[in-house]
């Protein structure tokens, strides 16, 4: 007899979801029994880390990742990571175990009360199948919803006594079917947008993470070059969608209304691709657009299109639309933007290193196709200025700003991209939110490099305290943490760097190793 469990694994296998990220509890054990030999289970020690690893893995592969959490408690522990996944359009299929179906109403221990509503609004779809027979169909639906644009996390709560029930007779259809998405705009819409770009006297391109996620960076470059327009990354950029060494590249827009309008002043048409319009952070009132400017956005997310306060929007496939636009527009008869000069090399200092010096050393030594995962939030602008990121999929950042993303995501990304080196650059305040990811990296010999920028304070909070004029608040410092000792306790090689020479030697050693390495760098605040 084919059981619900057998049918579920067949569906997962059919769609390539054979890596399971999890931290199991009693409700999940029946799903995991007789674990198939062609699947692998990646254990994390906390559900936030589990979900963060899956987030990085899914973003780096471009395919859904499967997450197995423990009932309500595990889901609650994962909610911060789900916020990042939701905002980065990461396709995750998240399951949690539920108590025995006949007892849920009595609310026994480990019952997931109101399971469907628990993860909302941080998932595209949430369900608890009405019967055991409907579990396989719900699995298939979850995968299709997760991977259809705008991609994102979905959630299933499954009573643990369902797994041994007979599968429905139609289960073989579920494993065989596929759902495809085609989203190229009509000729009329494409031509109207191309004409609008062609008529603009000073257009500007603003790119978001969905460009990189859909492997459309080259098309973005082609469009910028044909129209000879500057290219910015959208505020708080979670990915890098344009080569930072290109003459058209201008950097990352700040996350304030007035600052964005100031930097885009003089442009008559703003084309935003693959990003919200706009994701602001610090409250900085001003004009939403500079005087005389119009805005058009191309997005895969109808919710982002609908909630934008200004401009026109086209909901479409990012890659197909960018490619079609780049081929359609005529080369502009104006000069290419002048390249922004790279900053001068940072000077060596006595004692603690400046963040600028750290990034210069990393840029010099790391492979050209290195992947950077950032959670040193106070030094993000310096990182964008000094690290040369030219390959697709070279940069990741927490899309919702939630700490605890970088360490587990770096492990998941390295697992997904074994041919490239992943370097997590993480503040000492941020590192503590995902520190147990070190154990997973060690246990599975995942050679991620973790650089801890140790300055003893929450640098981004100190900056924001200045913005808000509240410098006297408590809880902004995190002294007395020995990250080398923590790393060794989890089984990861640890190196301490307090000079340019020692950081150079440590990074070279880490790059030559096939095991994970943590480098604790003493930096100036």
The DSSP bridge partners found for residue 380 are none
- Give ∠ CA 211-148-144 in degrees, rounded to 5: 150
CA torsion 154→124→417→366, rounded to 10°? -130
- 3-state class of 82 per DSSP? helix
Burial label for 471, CB within 10 Å (0-12, 13-18, 19+), is exposed
Cα 28 versus chain centre, distance: 27
DSSP 166: B
Dihedral angle sign, alpha carbons of residues 13, 14, 19, 20: negative
Please state the three-class secondary structure of 432-459 as a single string: CCCCCHHHHHHHCCCCCEEEEEECCECH
- Give ∠ CA 272-277-279 in degrees, rounded to 5: 125
Residue identified by tokens 């200004």 is: 310
Which are the contacts of 390, defined by CB distance < 8 A and separation ≥ 6?
A: 243, 244, 245, 368
Residues acting as catalytic residues: 25-26, 28, 47, 70, 281, 401
Helices 406-416 & 47-61 angle (0-180, nearest 10): 40
Q: CA 105, CA 246: separation in Å to the nearest integer? A: 60
- Give ∠ CA 336-341-346 in degrees, rounded to 5: 165
């Amino acid at each position: 007899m084919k059981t619900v469990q057998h049918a579920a694994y067949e569906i997962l296998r059919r769609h390539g979801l054979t890596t399971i990220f999890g931290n199991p509890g009693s409700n999940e054990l029946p799903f995991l029994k007789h674990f198939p030999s062609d699947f692998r289970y990646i254990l994390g020690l906390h559900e936030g880390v589990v979900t963060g690893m899956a987030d990085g893995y899914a973003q780096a592969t471009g395919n859904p990742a499967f997450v197995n959490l423990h009932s309500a408690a595990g889901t609650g522990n994962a909610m911060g990571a789900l916020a990042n996944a939701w905002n980065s359009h990461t396709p995750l299929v998240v399951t949690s175990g539920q108590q025995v179906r006949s007892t849920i109403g009595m609310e026994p221990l480990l019952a997931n009360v109101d399971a469907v509503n628990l993860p909302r609004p941080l998932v595209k779809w949430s369900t608890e199948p009405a019967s055991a027979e409907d579990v396989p169909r719900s699995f298939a639906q979850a995968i299709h919803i997760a991977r259809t644009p705008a991609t994102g996390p979905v959630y299933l709560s499954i009573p643990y006594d369902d797994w041994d029930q007979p599968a429905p007779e139609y289960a073989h259809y579920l494993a065989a079917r596929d759902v495809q998405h085609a989203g190229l705009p009509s000729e009329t819409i494409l031509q109207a947008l191309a004409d609008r770009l062609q008529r603009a006297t000073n257009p500007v391109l603003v790119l978001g993470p969905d460009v990189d996620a859909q492997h459309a960076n080259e098309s973005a470059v082609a469009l910028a070059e044909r129209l000879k327009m500057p290219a910015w990354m959208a505020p708080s950029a979670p990915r890098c969608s344009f080569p930072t060494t290109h003459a058209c590249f201008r950097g990352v827009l700040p996350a304030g209304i007035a600052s964005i309008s100031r930097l885009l002043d003089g442009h008559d048409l703003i084309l935003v691709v693959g990003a919200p319009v706009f994701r602001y952070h610090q409250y900085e009132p001003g004009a939403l657009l500079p005087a005389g400017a119009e805005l058009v956005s191309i997005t895969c997310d109808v919710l982002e299109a609908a909630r934008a306060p200004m401009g026109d929007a086209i909901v479409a496939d990012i890659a197909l639309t960018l490619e079609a636009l780049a081929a359609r527009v005529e080369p502009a008869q104006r000069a290419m933007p002048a390249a922004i000069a790279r900053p001068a090399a940072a000077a060596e200092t006595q004692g603690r290193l400046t963040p600028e010096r750290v990034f210069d050393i990393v840029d010099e030594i790391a492979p050209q196709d290195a992947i950077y995962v950032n959670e040193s939030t106070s030094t993000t602008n310096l990182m964008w200025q000094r690290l040369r990121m030219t390959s697709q999929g070279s940069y990741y950042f927490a899309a919702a700003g939630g700490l605890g993303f970088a360490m587990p995501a770096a492990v998941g990304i390295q697992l997904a991209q074994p041919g490239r080196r992943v370097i997590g650059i993480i503040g000492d305040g941020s590192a503590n939110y995902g520190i147990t990811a070190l154990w997973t990296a060690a246990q599975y010999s995942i050679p991620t490099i973790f650089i801890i920028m140790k300055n003893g304070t929450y640098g981004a909070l100190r900056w924001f305290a200045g913005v808000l004029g509240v410098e006297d608040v408590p809880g902004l410092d995190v002294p007395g943490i020995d990250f080398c000792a923590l790393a060794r306790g989890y089984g990861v090689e640890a190196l301490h760097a307090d000079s340019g020479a020692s950081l150079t030697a440590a990074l070279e050693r880490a790059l030559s190793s096939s095991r994970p390495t943590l480098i604790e760098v003493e930096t100036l605040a």
